[in-house]
Structure 1
Amino acid sequence: MKTRHITLLASVAAAFASCAPIPDSAPTTPPTQGSEVPAPMTEIDSNVPVGRPTPDGKKDMVISPYRPYNVINVSGYQSGDIVGDPSTARIDPKTNKPIANTSKHFRIP
């Protein structure tokens, strides 16, 4: 029985090792002084809703896309960052305090 497990594990390990990416053979040149290296491209998650700016145009204030549509202070964050709406967090029944990691998230416009 142990021999079967070892053989199975060895074959699975070999299969995973064969899936490793092949490194580029082209030589890479380091950037010269003064040139900028572009940031890697990342896909924007379209499942995250976007908040709205406040009608009066207050700086660093965004309207949450979740009910009750509270105004959230997003100072210290940039446009495109994902933040949480603390009013949507669940309340801990023992302490009656909001559980921070249960709040709904949205993107800053």
Structure 2
Amino acid sequence: MQERVADEPLALLAYNCRNVGESSQGEVVDETMDAHALDMYNILMQADKLRLDTLKRMIDILTPLQAIELLVASQKLHLSLHEWSKRRDIQMGITQLLNTDYNPSSSSALPPEPES
């Protein structure tokens, strides 16, 4: 697998387009996008393998009680982040954001009131 940080052919195709998203080289764009998607998939698989290998090695050097505490703490963090994100989405009215010009970049700003 050839790893690329920036896919030069894709960048050149975009640069040479007159309008954003248009190309007279549709087949080349499709092939390049397919290659890019495959590269991204392979990177995600390698990252997941590294994560699992690291976790296994950490558990090997910890006592059984420490390993359990680590796994419990990591799962609690994962679940907490998931719940906090869901709550924040609800508070920000994320379903309404899809149809408005509201900019959620400021976490202190309140979302627009729903129209009744």
TM interval, short-chain normalised: under 0.3
Q: Point out which structure has higher relative CO (alpha carbons under 8 A, 6+ apart).
A: 1
The TM-score with structure 1 as length reference comes to 0.27
Structure in which a larger fraction of residues adopt strand: 1
Structure in which a larger fraction of residues adopt helix: 2
